[in-house]
């Protein structure tokens, strides 16, 4: 019976559509590849080319090759280093909070308690909310004259008068971080909870028999199973924090001053506010290089697991 099927499969292969027909495989990939090459591959190369030119929409006729001058201008400008530093602060805060909060909630939802399934469902709510609406929601909560945060803190007696949370550099950055964490935390919870559920229960039983306490259970049983998913959450979250745009646009627009001007926001400003496409693309490329470096680390993790080729 088995050999019969194999024979049929071989006949099928021979008839032109089989498991070992490379041109058929490429045919199946054509539409997807065409779109990705045309709308991602070509632009990324074009973008590099533009970044080597003096090119501004204010003077669209000028397209002079200037080599790496745009990059030199970036590296020599204070604005770049300030934006890089703010990106680092923002990313580090978001990533740490998402990982800590995500892990805590995942551990909680892995335990059995009444109402657990409701919370497991609700956790998807922030994930489903478009970043623009997320920004709008928090903007309304942080409002200096009527906002809910002010109302809450005053009625709890924690502050005596309303404050403009988005008008001071430090509180604006923290407000932005909190808004982004709320939106991003569910993905971490989902990934970490899935990882927790894959841990065989017998491991815990065996460790308990050996006399392990809660702390030892976590560090010797749970954590080794979580190390890789945690690393993946860390990298995915870092990538998406570097890319954060919508929430900044709605909530702070990079301000006050440049207190929340990250590299992504700086790229946007240079390109679409100053209309300096040459310099803007050099900024964009700098962001890409940082991102792709991190992406390579992500590949390595997947690859080491042996999943990449699977």
* Closest distance to another protein from the beta carbon of 164 (Å): 13
Per CB under 8 A, contacts with another protein among 10-49 are: 12, 17-22, 24-26, 28-29, 31-33, 35-36, 39-44, 46-47
Q: 263-292: which residues touch another protein (CB under 8 A)?
A: 264, 267-268, 271-272, 277, 280-281, 284-285, 287-288, 291-292
| Residue 104 structure tokens | 């805590």
CB of 50 to another protein, least distance (A): 7
CA end-to-end span of the chain: 28
Among residues 168 and 298, whose Cβ is nearest to another protein? 298
- H or E, element range at 51: helix 42-51
Residue of the chain from 187, 196, 234, 259 that contacts another protein (CB under 8 A):
187
- Going by C-alpha positions, the residue among 195, 250, 252 that lies closest to residue 226 is 195
Is residue 170 a contact point for another protein (CB under 8 A)?
A: no
Range 198-217, binding another protein (CB under 8 A):
205
Q: How many CA atoms lie within 13 A of 112 on its CB side?
A: 0
Window 42-81: contact mask with another protein (x via CB under 8 A):
xxx-xx--x-------------------------------
**Out of 190, 196, 221, 230, the residue judged to bind another protein by CB under 8 A:** 190
Q: Computed from CA positions of residues 109, 110, 114, 117, in that sequence, does the dihedral angle turn out positive or negative?
A: positive
State how far the Cα of 224 lies from the Cα of 139, in Å rounded to an integer: 40
Applying CB under 8 A, the span of 72-80, 84-92, 140-148, 169-177 interacting with another protein comes to 140-148
DSSP 81-100: HHHHHHHHHHHHHHHHHHHH
According to CB under 8 A, which residues from 228 to 267 bind another protein?
228-229, 232, 236, 239, 242-243, 245-246, 249-250, 253, 264, 267
Token look-up 């709308």 returns 39
User: Hey, is 56 helix, strand or coil?
Assistant: strand
Of 41 and 224, which CB lies nearer to another protein in the complex structure?
41
| Number of alpha carbons in the 13 Å side-chain half-sphere of residue 288 | 14
């Amino acid at each position: 019976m088995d050999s019969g099927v194999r024979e049929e499969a071989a006949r099928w292969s021979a008839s032109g559509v089989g498991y070992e027909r490379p041109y058929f495989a490429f045919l199946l990939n054509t539409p997807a590849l065409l779109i990705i090459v045309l709308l991602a591959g070509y632009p990324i190369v074009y973008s590099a080319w533009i970044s080597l030119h003096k090119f501004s929409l204010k003077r669209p006729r000028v397209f002079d090759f200037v080599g790496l001058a745009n990059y030199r201008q970036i590296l020599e400008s204070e604005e770049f280093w300030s934006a890089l530093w703010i990106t680092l602060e923002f990313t580090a805060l978001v990533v740490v909070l998402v990982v800590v909060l995500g892990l805590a909630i995942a551990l909680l939802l892995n335990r059995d308690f009444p109402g657990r399934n409701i919370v497991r469902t609700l956790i998807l709510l922030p994930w489903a909310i478009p970043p623009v609406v997320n920004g709008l929601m928090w903007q309304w909560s942080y409002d200096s004259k009527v906002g809910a945060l002010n109302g809450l803190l005053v009625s709890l007696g924690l502050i005596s008068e309303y404050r403009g949370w988005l008008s001071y550099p430090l509180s604006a950055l923290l407000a932005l971080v909190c808004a982004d964490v709320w939106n991003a935390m569910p993905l971490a919870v989902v990934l970490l909870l899935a990882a927790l559920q894959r841990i065989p229960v017998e491991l815990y039983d065996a460790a308990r028999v050996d006399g392990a306490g809660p702390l030892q259970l976590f560090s010797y049983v749970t954590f080794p199973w979580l190390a890789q998913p945690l690393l993946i959450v860390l990298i995915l979250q870092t990538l998406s924090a570097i890319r954060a745009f919508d929430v900044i646009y709605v909530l702070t627009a990079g301000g006050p001053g440049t207190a929340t001007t990250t590299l992504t926001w700086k790229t946007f400003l240079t390109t679409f506010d100053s209309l300096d496409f040459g310099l803007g693309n050099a900024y964009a490329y700098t962001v890409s290089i940082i991102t792709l470096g991190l992406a390579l680390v992500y590949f390595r993790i997947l690859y080491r697991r042996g999943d990449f080729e699977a």
